[in-house]
Structure 1
Amino acid sequence: MLFLIALAAGFLPVTVATPVSAQQSDAKSSADVVVTGKKQREERTAGAVTALDEYSVRFARCAKKVDIRLLHKIIDGEPYSSPSQYALDRAIRTNMGCYMGYHTPGSPEPYYGVCNAIDNHAYRFRLPVCRAPYDRAALVAEAIARYAPDVRLTKTQTMNVQVQARLGAREKQRNRLRPLTERQYVAVTLCMVGNAPEAAADLVHNNRSSKLQKSAADRLIEETSECTGDAKELKIDRVEFRNYVVDAFYSWLVAARNVPSLLPLPPDQHS
C-alpha cells in the first residue's frame, strides 16, 4: 500500500522506471529517472493549493470563448515557452470576467502566463506560489472534457511501440524548457498512465471532489509501483498529482490517435 501524503511534507527520493517513450532523451533505453524532490514548496499549505485549483477550474469552465489558436499554444505548445505564456496571459485577459481570485490589475503581459504569484502573506513562510500552472492544467482538463468526453485509453494502445514512439517524440519536443524536477514528475505520470490507462481515465473523467476520483488516484498509484521504484511510501499533493496525470493522459490520447492535438483546427486552417 502506498500512502498519499501532501507534497508539503516533501517528496521522497525514489527511482522511477519510465516507459520506452519517456526515455527518448536518454542515451540508454533502460535508464531510470531519479525523482530528487527538492523541498522548495514544503511550506505551502493544502488550503492554498485547493484554493488555486478551485479558482482555475472555475475559470476554465467559464471561459467558453477562448480563441482556439490560443488554446493550441497553451495546451499543445511547449510549457514555459514565450508563445505559451503569452497565449495563457491573453486567454485570461480576454476572459477576465471569468477570472476570479488571484489577479493583479495593471500587470504587464505576460504576467498571468508566467507565474501570477498569489498574495500568500497569510501563510506561515510567505513563499511565492504561482497560479499559472493551475490555470494551464485546468484548461487541459477542460479540453479533454469538451473534445474527448469519456474517451478511454487501453493497454493495447499504450503498449503499442508506434504509439510510444509518437509520445516520446512529442514529449521530447514539448518538455525542453521544464525544470529538471518537473520533467521527472512528467516521466513518472507518463509511466503511470501508460501502465494503468483505465485507472488514469477514471481519475481524469471523474469529478475532482468525488470519492470515485480519489479512489481512482489511489488505484493508479497502487497499480503502477514499477513507475515509482516500488516505493513503500509516496508523498504527493493530490491536486498537483491529478494535474500531472491529466497532462499525461492528454499526451497519450494524442499519440494513440496519431493527431497533433485533440483541439479542433482554427477557422483559418480548415481545408
Structure 2
Amino acid sequence: MAQQGGTVHLPNAEDSDEIIVEALRLPRRALPTQVRWSYVRATHNRIQYERAREFAKCARETGSAWLRKVVDGEPNSAQATFAQGWIVLKNRVCYPGFPSQSAAPDVADFGRSSLDRAALLEEVFKTHAPDAALTIADTHDPEVRERFRNREIPRNRLRIGGDREALVLTSCLVREQPELATRLIRSAPGSALGQGLTQAMLVEGRACLGENRKIVIDPTNFRAYVLDAFYRWVVAARNVASLIPAA
C-alpha cells in the first residue's frame, strides 16, 4: 500500500479494485477503525449463503406479490415471515441440504433467515434493477433523506437488539459511502474484493461508528445488512414503493 511522507493511504471510493484488496494487508494499527474478521460463524454463514443463493435463483420465478411481502414488507412481521417461509418451502428442491420433513412444517419457521432474505434481495437486483447504483448526491439529497426516514422508522419497528443496531449502522454506512456500497453489492460474495470493500466502508464511514474504533465483522452477515439498507436507499432515491413490478 502506497505511503506518502510516512502516511498510510486509506482505501476509498476512488481507488481501484486492486488497491481496495491490497489494503487488506495494512496493519490494523494503521487504520483509524480497526476492522477484525469474525471466524466464529463466518465459515458457517458463507456456506449457508451459498446454499441460499442457489435457492433464490429458483425463487425469482415466484409471483411478485409474494416477493414484495418479503422484500418490501415489515421485517419480522408475521406476514413477511410467512411469505418468506412459503417461498423457501415452495423452492426447497433447489435448496442444497434442505432438511427432510416427516410432518407438516410450520411455514413461518422457514421464514426467519436473514441470509435467505439477502439472497432474495440479490436476485431482485439482478432481475429487476441490475443498474441500481447510489451516489452521495442521492443519499445526501434532503428530500431523499426525509423520504427514507419517513418510510424506514415505522417499517422497522419490529426490529430489536442486534438486528436493529446492524440495520442502523449499515443504513448510515450506505448513506455516507454509497459508491462503496454499490461496488460491494456488485462484488462476488465471499471474495477478497468484497472483504476489502467492507473494510473500506467501515474505515471511510467511521463517523457512523461513533466512538468505537474497533469492530468485529462477519463479511457475509455484513453484506446481508448492506443489501437491505442499499435497497431501501435505492427505492427512496427513485421515489418508488418497490423495485419489483406489480403483478
TM category, shorter: 0.7 to 0.9
The answer as to 2:160 corresponding to 1:175 is no
Which residue pairs with 2:208 in the alignment? 227
Is 2:114–2:224's contact at 8 Å kept on the other side of the alignment? no
Instruction: After TM superposition, give the deviation of residue 97 of structure 1 in Å.
Output: 1.6
Which residue pairs with 1:3 in the alignment? 34
Is 2:46–2:190's contact at 8 Å kept on the other side of the alignment? no
In 1, distance between residues paired with 2:222 and 2:70? 19
- Which residue of the other structure, out of 194, 197, 200, is the alignment partner of 2:181? 200
In 2, distance between residues paired with 1:143 and 1:4? 30
Deviations along 1:14-47, one digit per CA (max 9) or x if unpaired, are xxxxxxxxxxxxxxxxxxxxxxxxxxxxxx5322
In 1, distance between residues paired with 2:74 and 2:135? 26
Instruction: After TM superposition, give the deviation of residue 210 of structure 1 in Å.
Output: 2.9
Q: Percent identity?
A: 34
Deviations along 1:178-219, one digit per CA (max 9) or x if unpaired, are 113311211111110000100000001111133322222121
Q: Name the amino acid aligned to 1:113.
A: G
TM-score, normalised relative to structure 1: 0.75
Is 2:118–2:228's contact at 8 Å kept on the other side of the alignment? yes
The answer as to 2:217 corresponding to 1:236 is yes
Which residue pairs with 1:211 in the alignment? 192
Q: 1:113 to 1:221 in 2, by over 3 A?
A: same
- Which residue of the other structure, out of 74, 87, 95, is the alignment partner of 2:91? 95
Which residue pairs with 1:113 in the alignment? 111
The answer as to 2:239 corresponding to 1:258 is yes
Q: Name the amino acid aligned to 2:82.
A: Y
In 2, distance between residues paired with 1:233 and 1:202? 23
Cα RMSD over matched residues? 1.6
Instruction: After TM superposition, give the deviation of residue 62 of structure 1 in Å.
Output: 3.1
Which residue pairs with 2:53 in the alignment? 57
Is 1:67–1:91's contact at 8 Å kept on the other side of the alignment? no
What secondary structure, in the 3-state scheme, does the structure 2 residue paired with 1:167 have?
Answer: helix
Q: Which moved more, 1:177-186 or 1:235-244?
A: 177-186
Q: Name the amino acid aligned to 1:109.
A: V
The answer as to 2:172 corresponding to 1:141 is no
The answer as to 2:165 corresponding to 1:184 is yes
In 2, distance between residues paired with 1:68 and 1:135? 17
What secondary structure, in the 3-state scheme, does the structure 1 residue paired with 2:111 have?
Answer: helix
In 1, distance between residues paired with 2:160 and 2:154? 14
TM-score, normalised relative to structure 2: 0.81
Instruction: After TM superposition, give the deviation of residue 52 of structure 1 in Å.
Output: 1.3
Paired residues, number: 214
Which residue pairs with 1:47 in the alignment? 43
Which residue pairs with 1:24 in the alignment? none
In 2, distance between residues paired with 1:188 and 1:154? 18
Instruction: After TM superposition, give the deviation of residue 169 of structure 1 in Å.
Output: 1.4
Instruction: After TM superposition, give the deviation of residue 163 of structure 1 in Å.
Output: 0.4
In 2, distance between residues paired with 1:109 and 1:232? 41
Instruction: After TM superposition, give the deviation of residue 5 of structure 1 in Å.
Output: 2.5
Please list every run of 5 or more consecutive structure 1 residues that lacks an aligned counterpart in the other structure: 9-43, 115-131, 267-271
Structure 1 residue runs of 4 or more that deviate by more than 4 Å after TM superposition: none
Instruction: After TM superposition, give the deviation of residue 54 of structure 1 in Å.
Output: 1.1
Is 2:89–2:107's contact at 8 Å kept on the other side of the alignment? no
In 2, distance between residues paired with 1:194 and 1:138? 22
The answer as to 2:238 corresponding to 1:246 is no
In 2, distance between residues paired with 1:151 and 1:80? 25
Is 1:7–1:235's contact at 8 Å kept on the other side of the alignment? yes
Is 2:48–2:115's contact at 8 Å kept on the other side of the alignment? yes
